[in-house]
Structure formats: structure tokens, C-alpha cells
A and B are shown apart, each in its own frame.
Chain A
Amino acid sequence: NAGVTQTPKFRVLKTGQSMTLLCAQDMNHEYMYWYRQDPGMGLRLIHYSVGEGTTAKGEVPDGYNVSRLKKQNFLLGLESAAPSQTSVYFCASTYGGTDNEQFFGPGTRLTVL
């Protein structure tokens, strides 16, 4: 039981390049989330999904897109990376409903030059 995994662990991009971050969970969770973590700002929600085929915007969605084609996977895309997107990205998942504990992945450290 791997829990929540993320790939890649580290990535350096040049401004304007694109990339996709992959989150996978093997706990049969319905809800999945993408956060970014910046110094002094806590965790901020980018996008989330309440089930396969559904996505919604969070607090800071600009510059990101997501897809959830399979229940166990949640992809975060950056179409044209900007230095402001330098951050640590965490994926999380939970059953939902009254079972709210969110389980986090190990994070992806992204640097945009």
C-alpha cells in the first residue's frame, strides 16, 4: 500500500516550458487536491476533484490545469511556466464526506528559471 505518490520529486524548468505533475493514490479515495506551499504562506489549494471526471478551481488556480481521467490519478499541468510558479507542490486525497483526513504525497519541488 503506497498511499499517495507524486512524480517527479524535483524539476527545473525554463520560463515558458510546460510540464505535468502526476499524483497517484491506492486508497480508493474519492477526493483529490493539489496544493502549493510557499514560505510563510502555508498550503494553498490550486485545484481539486470530487470524483473521476470532475475538477474544480481552488484558491490559486491561474496558470494551472488539471485532469482526473482515472479515480486513482490526478494530474496538474503547467502550460507555460513562470518564475512565480516556483514552489513545492503537494497532492492530497481523502475519502470525503465525514471522513475528512487528507493524506499527502511527498511533494514535488519545482524551480522555474
Chain B
Amino acid sequence: GENVEQHPSTLSVQEGDSAVIKCTYSDSASNYFPWYKQELGKRPQLIIDIRSNVGEKKDQRIAVTLNKTAKHFSLHITETQPEDSAVYFCAATPDTGTASKLTFGTGTRLQVTL
């Protein structure tokens, strides 16, 4: 089955700096890669996702890059703000035949300091 590794486990940045979180996956059949943000005591919520037919996707201050050859994908947050402080999870799944089951990384706790 799929195995997703996520680094770093904790990340502290100053407000306005950029943050990068990296994930690797093992199943070459995986082709959907979402990122979830989970604030303290809340449910995970999708912030961005990417499919294997593109190498990069942006949404305002958030971007995700994918390297299928190396089997890794990354989340980039620019101009970080205090409200970006949360735990971020990457995940991976093949589209077909797997019931869209997501395999999650172990999470990165991002702290944005003033």
C-alpha cells in the first residue's frame, strides 16, 4: 500500500517569511495529492490539491509542486501570517480502484511568530 512521509514535523517561521513542507510517497499509481490544514481542536480542511497531470498549482499565497519522477510534492506558503499557524497534512491516493482512500502524512505543526 501507499506510504507517505512528511517533513519537518515542526516548523517555526517569522511573520512574512515563507514556509515549505515536503512529502514523499511510495505508490507510483498515486495521482491525487491534497493538503489539509487543521487548526487546534478543529476538523481538517482542504486548502489545495494537485493532480499528477500538472507540476504546480497556486492559490493566492499557497502553492503546491509535484515531482512524479522523484515521488515528492511540497506545500509552499508565502508571506506567512499568524492565522497560518496550524497543523498541515499531506496525503496521496490513486484515483481509481481504491475508493479514493487517502494515505496521510504525519503532519507538520507550523508556528508563525510575530
Contact = CB atoms under 8 A, between A and B. Distances in A.
A43 B104 contact: yes
Interface residues of B, number: 23
Given A50-B99, A100-B34, A43 B44 contact: yes
Contact of A90 (B32, B43, B49, B93): B43
A84 interface: no
Q: Does more than half of chain B's interface fall in helix, strand or loop, or is it mixed?
A: loop
Contacts of A31: 99-100
Interface residues of A, number: 25
A44 B1 CA distance: 13
Interface of A: 31, 33, 40-45, 48, 50, 56, 58-59, 90, 94, 96-98, 100-102, 104-107
Given A97-B95, A101-B46, 17 more contacts: A33-B101, A41-B106, A42-B6, A42-B89, A43-B44, A43-B89, A43-B102, A44-B104, A50-B99, A59-B1, A90-B44, A96-B99, A100-B102, A101-B49, A104-B44, A104-B45, A106-B42
